[in-house]
Structure 1
Amino acid sequence: MDSSRASRKIVRNVGWSILSKVAVFSLKFVSVPILARLLTPAEFGIVATGMIVVFFLLLIGGAGLSAGLIRAEREDPETQDTVFWTNLTVASVLGILLYFNAAFVAGLLGAPEAKWLLEIFAFLFPIYLGADVASSILSRRMAFAKDAFWNVVSEALGAIAAIAAALGGLGVWALILQQFVSAIVRWCGLMFASRYVPRFRFSSAKLRALFGYGSRIAGADFANFISFQSPLVVITRILGLSDAGAFSVANRLSDLPNQIVLSGLMGVLFPAFSTMADQPERRSRVLMQSTQMTSILLAPMLFGFGAVAEPAMNVVFGAQWTYAWPVLGLLAVAKGIMTPCGSFIPFLKATGHAGVLWWFALARAAVIVVGTWIGATLDGLIGVCLALCIANVFIMIGYAAVVFNVAKIPMRAAVDCVILPLGSAVAMAALVRILLGYARPHIASDLLLLLAGAAAGTVIYLLLMFATQRGALTSLLALRR
């Protein structure tokens, strides 16, 4: 496949992946505020705490085996069946262990009242892991249109079920139902789309061949999981479930831009980088382009979110959540700092640097845990979010130094990829924040204030981009064509 045709295929699949994320974003933009108005912060907090355990055990159960299927030179049905039955067996064992040790796990999380919820969530593991092989088959085939379709359908049906249950007065059960409906629909849909039918066969030799690479990937994913989820555990233990619920709601809203652009891009880049094993120069070029484009598109969304956090919180969630607007703003800034890193993890995974990924993820997890614990102790929720912002500055710099060194990308190109987009986004957000401060006494409506801030931010950022990065804008338009 020639270079231009391959590039078009990557861009097309990124488009499909991002399109699905836009659809999911739209669903969550409607469903999360509705649920937030019908449910209490404590109810959101207890479900968020329970899902931490689910995601943690899923990392252990998967052991990175699906990543090995994507990176393999060719599809092998026997290896796929081996991974499927391994995942299903491990998930079932983990579910049983959680069910009978729910009280102990809930106590570790600082939420003993979540025992009953963990017993219910114990049945989620086989459903989630059962879809891993089908998902990896679609990713390997770059069939992201099918994957996107079933992700949207599962999220839509889960959201509809949750809203209906909440309106029916079922309380926290609405959020539980949402998780089960989405997981079941996704599993069935991906199995149908991939045409994968597992057979009763198993190869210990092929499992061992995957396990070496997969275990390092799983170790890195585990460390990243600690980085992402430990703040909620720290908040639950030190500050309580209500503050955990406020953090969870703000985190969901601030993470929507990442779910639209970043997760869609990362899902495509890993198999794409894997196909360029014999083209290191081209792979480095794609890394540089994807890093720059991700920063250009995502950084203004997140830093802009931070600038308009106060009216956004009031408009989206209502008066009962107004107190949490600084949490929303700081979380958006913390995520904005990390926007250049969207292509780094797929690059390291695809180039076989799983060991580097593991050690860096471990160091990142340690910094996040210590920093958020200190922040929560000193200044509550605000302290946690400030600690995340400070830690992410050093983490982003470290990631960039490691990845650009591996890819042999010169420092000047790295500056163009990272510093200019982030600097433009920070300057835009600061100006918008100043403008909203002047406008607040004259605009009573939070909705109008939010729209004014979004419009001003768009104009300011485009002017800054035109002044500093005309070449990048030209490349973005070329990719669109």
Structure 2
Amino acid sequence: MPTTVNLRTVTNSVGWSVISKTSTFGLKFVTVPILARILTPQEFGVVAVAQTVVMFLTMIGSAGLSASLVLEREEDEETVHSVFWVNLAVALAMSACIYIWALPFAGWLGAEDAASLLRVMALLVPLQLSGDVAYSLLARRMAFRKDAAWSVFSESVGAVTAVGLALAGVGVWSLVAQLFVSAVVRLGGLFHATGYRPRFVLSLGKLGALTRYSLGIMVSELFNFITFQSPLVVVSRHLGLADAGAYAAANRFSSIPNQVLLAGLMGVLFPVFSHMNGDARRRTDALMLSTQVTTVALAPMMFGLWAVAEPGMFLIFGPQWVHAWPVLGLLAVSKGIMSPCSTYIPFLKGAGRSDVLWWVAMLRAALVYGLVTYGAMTGGLFAAMVWLCLANAVTLVFYSWAVFRTNGTAFFSSFYVTTRPMIASVIMAVAVRFLLDHVKAGLPGGVWWNALSQVAVGAAAGAAIYGLLLLLTERDLLRKLLELVRRRKAGAAGANC
């Protein structure tokens, strides 16, 4: 049977997962600005476009089979081995396709210069898919401490490699080396942590039982990929590699707060929700609490980044990137709008509702691609980002409706409760932006010191304003969290007796 899920198991797992993602994306916080000062926007753009193809095939390559292992009641070795070999076979086929058709892929994305990189990066597909089974075993065992340790180590080695090679003048290949080094180290770490060793066992009957769920996951991942990567493709094809590089750099940085929390929580919440399928009340409480908490934590970071985007872009990326600050700000807003949806994917996966997951993902992908394309063709990069924000606002409404309907929860009351922290974050961000517009001229002189002062003043004012708004609007949630902390401490004390 999978590991028993209780308050202590969940909080420990979330803690380790968030530490892992905080550390790895903290590395990006440091390395992305360093690399941005050494490399050009075109170099960032070429690698970003090439990585898009690799990520696409990697995302759909496992066909959801690895994720289905988390839902299985027993850890059946025959099923595990069968999934591993199917994943590897699909990965090798995908890799061969990238290598053979690298030039057409790159040309379709509007970046023929990326073809040579694509042929090399094709090897990333089997490297990444080979670790899916081992990660699923860690997830069903709730062994996120081990995953956290290897994630941090692999990303650290990759980041150091990239910076070292960039300083040595290797150029664009430093970014490629980072991806390979991190993938190889992480793959070895996952096999070591799980103790899993593949044996050549293949059962079509075992695989067939997983097909329906796995196909739904595969389709949803396909459309999620289109959602997240189509803006880069649209920008690259219609606006050129320089704008694609500006978008890629801003997107990587604005994604750090989002991905730290989402990646940390989604991996844990998926097995947690899968354990609650027989207890509707407990599952509803977990859905509402996790959604509120993620919105409380994520929304102020994203909307706060919008408020300080102009000085922040100059301070972090340097003067050669300052023209892209509106892109950074609008990307942060687009991610902030989606903050209440952070728990919806693991909820639907854990509830076994891959059917709902894929059709919601399809609608969102069509909306994002269509509106971003319209914006890029009619108003350039800035307009494309504005339309992306609108697409996410519409997505927030229908995604929330689909999840609450699936769970049997009243829509309007649940929607209000889960989006209330986001509304408070918007009020905070507007107030901070208004404050900075009126005080920045009086802050310490010098371009760098002025930018640093604006960020510091904005962060301090934002924290104070948002804290006050939370006390006014989220007292029930704060009391609930304090009670959970007391229960957690009482449980830990009892376990030590």
Does TM-score exceed 0.5, indicating one fold? Answer: yes
Shift of 1:59: 2.2
Q: Distance in 1 between matches of 2:433 and 2:346?
A: 34
Q: How many residues align?
A: 479
Partner in structure 2 of residue 455 of structure 1:
460
1:465 aligns with 2:470: yes
* Aligned twin of 2:19: 19
- Alpha-carbon separation, structure 1, partners of 2:28 and 2:98: 29
* Distance in 2 separating the partners of 1:170 and 1:477: 51
SS at match of 2:342: helix
Query: What code does the residue aligned with 1:475 have?
Result: K
Where does residue 327 of structure 2 map in the other structure?
A: 327
Tell me if structure 1 keeps the 8 A contact 2:102–2:118. Answer: yes
1:190 aligned partner: 190
Q: d(CA) in 1 for partners of 2:99 and 2:44?
A: 21
Q: 2:145 — aligned with what?
A: 145
Match of 1:131 in 2: 131
Task: State whether structure 2 residue 89 is matched by structure 1 residue 84.
Answer: no
CA distance in 2 between counterparts of 1:478 and 1:225 reads 39
Deviations 1:360-399 (A, max 9, x none): 1111111111100000011111111101100111101111
The residue aligned with 1:39 is 39
Q: How far is the alpha carbon of 1:27 from its aligned partner?
A: 0.9
Compute the displacement of 1:415 (Å). Answer: 4.0
- The residue matched to 2:452 in structure 1 has which SS? helix
The 5-angstrom pairing of residues 164-179 of structure 1 reads 164-179=164-179
Deviates more, 1:58-67 or 1:459-468: 58-67
Counterpart in the other structure of 1:414: 414
Identity %: 50
Aligned to 1:434: 434
Counterpart for residue 54 of structure 1: 54
Please give the alpha-carbon distance, in whole angstroms, between the structure 2 residues aligned to 1:57 and 1:87.
12
1:19-51 CA deviation, whole Å, 9 max, x = no partner?
A: 111111221111111000000000000111011
**Which segment is superposed worse, 412-421 or 245-254?**
412-421
Task: Name the counterpart of 2:399.
Answer: 399
Q: C-alpha distance in 1, partners of 2:470/2:378? A: 39
Aligned-residue offset at 1:306: 0.7
Matched residues in 1 for 2:484 and 2:219: separation? 35
Q: Secondary structure at the match of 1:201?
A: coil
Give 1:60 shift.
2.7
CA contact (8 A) 2:294 2:339 kept: yes
**Superposition pairs for residues 63-78 of structure 1, below 5 Å?**
63-78=63-78
Question: How do residues 218-257 of structure 1 correspond to structure 2 at under 5 angstroms?
Answer: 218-257=218-257
* 1:341 Cα deviation after fit: 0.6
Distance 1:8 1:410, change over 3 A: farther
The answer to whether residue 278 in structure 2 is matched with residue 269 in structure 1 is no
The one-character-per-residue Cα deviations of 1:123-179 (angstroms, maximum 9, x if unpaired) are 111100010000000001000111111111111000000000000000001000000
Q: In 1, distance between residues paired with 2:347 and 2:423?
A: 24
Which residue in 2 is equivalent to 1:288?
Answer: 288
Candidates 419, 443, 446, aligned match of 2:451: 446
CA distance in 1, matches of 2:247, 2:411: 37
Query: How far does the alpha carbon of each residue in 1:282-312 deviate from its partner, in whole angstroms, 9 at most, with x for none?
Result: 0111000000001111100100011110111
Q: Decide whether the 8 Å contact of 2:295 with 2:419 is kept in 1.
A: no
- Map residues 361-376 of structure 1 onto 2, 5 A cutoff: 361-376=361-376
Q: Distance in 1 between the 2:310 and 2:485 partners? A: 34
- Indicate conservation of the 8 Å contact 1:49/1:232, yes or no: yes
Return the letter of the residue paired with 2:364: R
Q: Which region of structure 1 is more displaced relative to structure 2, 411-420 or 308-317?
A: 411-420
Q: Describe the superposition over 1:192-246 as per-residue Cα deviations: whole angstroms up to 9, x where unpaired.
A: 0011001111111111111221011110010011000000000000001110010
Residues of 1 paired with 2:41 and 2:237: CA distance?
Answer: 16
Contact 2:340–2:418 under 8 Å retained in 1? yes
Give SS of 2:310's match. Answer: helix
Alignment of 1:281-320 (within 5 A): 281-320=281-320
1:14 partner amino acid: V
Alpha-carbon distance between aligned partners in 2 of 1:189 and 1:147, rounded to the nearest angstrom: 8
Shifted more, 300-309 versus 417-426: the winner is 417-426
- CA offset digits 1:411-433 (Å, max 9, x no partner): 46414532310110000000000
CA deviation string 1:319-356 (max 9, x = no partner): 01000000000000000000011111111111121111
| Equivalent in the alignment of 2:492 | none
- Structure 1 residues 230-284: Cα deviation after superposition (integer angstroms, max 9, x where no partner): 0000000000111001000100111111121111111111000001111111011
Contact 1:220 1:362 in 2 (8 A): yes
Counterpart Cα distance in 1 of 2:45 and 2:246: 8
Three-state SS of the structure 2 residue aligned to 1:63 is coil
Whether the 8 Å contact between 1:295 and 1:417 is mirrored in structure 2 is no
User: Post-superposition shift, 1:448?
Assistant: 1.1
* In 2: Cα distance, 1:480 partner to 1:300 partner: 22
In 2, Cα distance between equivalents of 1:475 and 1:40: 49
Task: Give runs of aligned pairs for residues 91-106 of structure 1, distance below 5 A.
Answer: 91-106=91-106
Moved >4 Å (runs of 4+): none
What SS does the aligned partner of 2:123 have? helix
Q: Secondary structure at the match of 1:409?
A: coil
Shift of 1:408: 2.1
Per the TM alignment, residue 113 of structure 1 is displaced from its structure 2 partner at its CA by 1.0
Is 1:66–1:132's contact at 8 Å kept on the other side of the alignment?
yes
Which whole-Å CA distance do the structure 2 matches of 1:169 and 1:16 have between them?
36
Indicate if the aligned counterparts of 2:375 and 2:386 stay in contact, CA closer than 8 A: yes
Tell me, yes or no, if the aligned pair for 1:11 and 1:479 is still in contact at 8 Å: no
TM normalised by structure 2 equals 0.94
Between stretches 125-134 and 468-477, larger displacement belongs to 468-477
Counterpart in the other structure of 1:387: 387
Which stretch shows the higher mean deviation, 414-423 or 98-107? 414-423
Question: Contact 1:303–1:332 at 8 Å: present in 2 too?
Answer: yes
Question: Hey, what's the Cα distance between the residues in 2 that align with 1:454 and 1:140?
Answer: 39
Q: Tell me the TM-score normalized by structure 1.
A: 0.98
Contact 1:292 1:416 in 2 (8 A): no
Tell me the equivalent position of 2:211. 211
